């Protein structure tokens, strides 16, 4: 008898929105009662998180999809304390894992194989079906230039409000603060955390533009694509934070005019319809990530923790209002289709959010 042969493993960094596949072939597959028993292990905590049985096709090929088990052990919640002076936080949206597998049949079995030498990372989200489920070459350690896990081509910050963003496994970050085209300051920060990271910036000075870069090793080399952030004044701001399809943070300030209503149905809840103007098409598309197709749970916002994180959320999404003091409030988004004309140079979007029952009268 011989052990199964692993013909393919998942990418070193993959998203749970698509299958995360191991592929194996077996010479024992025709034996009565044959199955491949697979265990999925959290490599950081050194604990087993799931196990399942898989079965071969008529040629002895076995496909092992571990995406659903990994996704069940991650969280979309923002558990970072944004009220502190911290700049970097460990994100709970990723997992380092490996598998163990064993061939079993009615009469006997092979010894278990421990694949801990081939550990992989998974992120809740990731490229959608139809794309290669491989974030490693663009966002992981192999990326020639680091990228933020964002869908926007330009960020918009509000002075005095925290703004968060996500990235993967770098050792340095550089923030260049600019006013009227003149550099005010350059701050280089060392990052002691590893792998999935949430960064935060809160502009309290005179800068009107930020250039933010990610770097590994020396500060003069291996720079990321520079993300440009426009800093604007507070004008009746509601700052929303959510997860994009890559699994990273998106933040956007909705300002000036908000329609204020109360919803009366199976519950009474405060609602705001938020508007954003002068968007690039990329910004508009990113904001549409708020309008998910997931259904609200029947009791979506009744249970609260002391940090105002919802314990019941929209399926596949977790949305927060970030306040200027760093506190955050979990809200639900009432899905509404937005349209725009691609020939326009600037675009507009709107989003309706519902606050938790804590805010009832």
Provide the CB-side half-sphere exposure for 28 (13 A, CA).
21
Residue 310 pLDDT: 46
Label residue 216 by pLDDT band (50, 70, 90): confident
> Nearest-5° angle of CA 335, CA 333, CA 285?
65
Q: Which residues have CB under 8 Å from 64's CB, separation 6+?
A: 21, 22, 23, 24, 36, 38, 54, 99, 101
- Tell whether the model's pLDDT for residue 224 goes beyond 60: yes
Q: Are 286 and 243 in contact (CB under 8 A)?
A: no
Q: What is the mean pLDDT of the chain?
A: 85
DSSP 3-state percent helix, strand, coil across the chain (nearest 5): 5, 45, 50
For residues 131 and 128, give the distance between their C-alpha atoms in angstroms, rounded to a whole number: 6
Q: Are 150 and 244 in contact (CB under 8 A)?
A: yes
What's the rounded mean pLDDT across residues 325-340?
82
Beta bridge partners of 331: 319
For residues 213 and 241, give the distance between their C-alpha atoms in angstroms, rounded to a whole number: 21
User: Can you say how many angstroms the Cα of residue 229 is from the centroid of all Cα atoms in its chain?
Assistant: 20
Residue 355 pLDDT: 81
User: Nearest CA to 251 among 229, 278, 272, 273?
Assistant: 229
Structure tokens, 321: 């209002």
How many residues would you count in the chain?
361
Residue 39 pLDDT: 97
State pLDDT tens for residues 168-212. Answer: 888 889 999 999 999 999 999 999 988 889 999 999 999 999 999
The percent of residues above 90 in pLDDT, for the chain, comes to: 49
- Tell whether the model's pLDDT for residue 314 goes beyond 70: no
The pTM of this model reads 0.84
For residues 10 and 134, give the distance between their C-alpha atoms in angstroms, rounded to a whole number: 8
What's the rounded mean pLDDT across residues 19-29?
94
Beta bridge partners of 24: 6, 62
Residue 22 pLDDT: 96
User: Nearest CA to 118 among 135, 143, 101?
Assistant: 101
What's the rounded mean pLDDT across residues 225-231?
91
State pLDDT tens for residues 95-112. Answer: 999 999 999 999 999 999
- Which is it for the CA torsion 21, 4, 113, 12, positive or negative? negative
Structure tokens, 74: 């991650």
Residue 357 pLDDT: 63
What's the rounded mean pLDDT across residues 261-284?
82
For residues 330 and 209, give the distance between their C-alpha atoms in angstroms, rounded to a whole number: 29
Residue 307 pLDDT: 47
CA distances from 132 to 184, 287, 310 (A): 41, 24, 33
State pLDDT tens for residues 129-155. Answer: 566 788 877 777 766 677 899 999 999
What's the rounded mean pLDDT across residues 19-24?
94
Label residue 311 by pLDDT band (50, 70, 90): very low
**β-strand 13-15 against 120-123: which pairing, if any?**
parallel
Q: Are 200 and 249 in contact (CB under 8 A)?
A: no
What's the rounded mean pLDDT across residues 353-360?
68
Label residue 89 by pLDDT band (50, 70, 90): very high
In the chain the domains, ranked by start, together with CATH numbers, are 5-134 (2.60.40.10), 138-359 (no CATH)
């Amino acid at each position: 008898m011989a052990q199964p042969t692993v013909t393919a493993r998942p990418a070193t960094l993959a998203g749970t929105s698509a299958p995360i596949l191991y592929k194996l072939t077996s010479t024992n597959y025709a034996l009565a009662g044959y199955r491949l028993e697979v265990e999925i292990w959290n490599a950081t905590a050194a604990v087993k998180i799931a196990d399942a049985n898989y079965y071969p096709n008529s040629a002895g090929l076995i496909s092992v999809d571990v995406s659903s088990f990994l996704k069940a052990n991650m969280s979309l919640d923002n558990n970072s304390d944004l009220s502190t002076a911290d700049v970097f936080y460990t994100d709970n949206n990723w997992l380092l894992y490996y598998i163990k597998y064993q061939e079993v049949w009615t009469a006997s079995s092979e010894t278990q194989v421990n694949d801990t030498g081939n550990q992989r990372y998974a992120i809740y989200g990731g490229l959608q079906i139809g794309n290669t489920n491989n974030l490693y070459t663009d966002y992981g350690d192999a990326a020639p230039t680091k990228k933020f896990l964002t869908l926007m081509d330009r960020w918009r910050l509000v002075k005095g409000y925290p703004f968060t963003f996500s990235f993967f496994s770098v050792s340095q970050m550089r923030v260049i603060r600019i006013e009227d085209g003149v550099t005010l300051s350059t701050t280089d920060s060392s990052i002691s955390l590893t792998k999935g990271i949430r960064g935060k910036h809160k502009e309290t000075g005179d800068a009107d533009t930020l250039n933010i870069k990610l770097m590994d090793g020396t500060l003069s080399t291996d720079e990321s694509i520079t993300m440009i952030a426009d800093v604007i004044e507070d004008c009746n701001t509601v700052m929303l934070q959510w997860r994009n399809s890559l699994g990273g943070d998106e933040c956007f300030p909705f300002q000036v005019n908000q329609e204020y209503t109360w919803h009366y149905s199976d519950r009474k809840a405060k609602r705001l319809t938020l508007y954003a103007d002068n968007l690039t098409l990329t910004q508009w598309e990113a904001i549409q990530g708020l309008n998910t197709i997931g259904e609200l749970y029947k009791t979506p916002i009744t249970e609260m923790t002391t940090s105002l994180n919802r314990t019941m959320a929209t399926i596949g999404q977790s949305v927060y209002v970030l306040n200027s003091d760093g506190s955050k409030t979990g809200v639900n988004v009432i899905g509404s289709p937005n349209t725009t004309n691609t020939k326009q140079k600037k675009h507009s979007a709107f989003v309706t959010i519902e606050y938790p029952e804590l805010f009832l009268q």
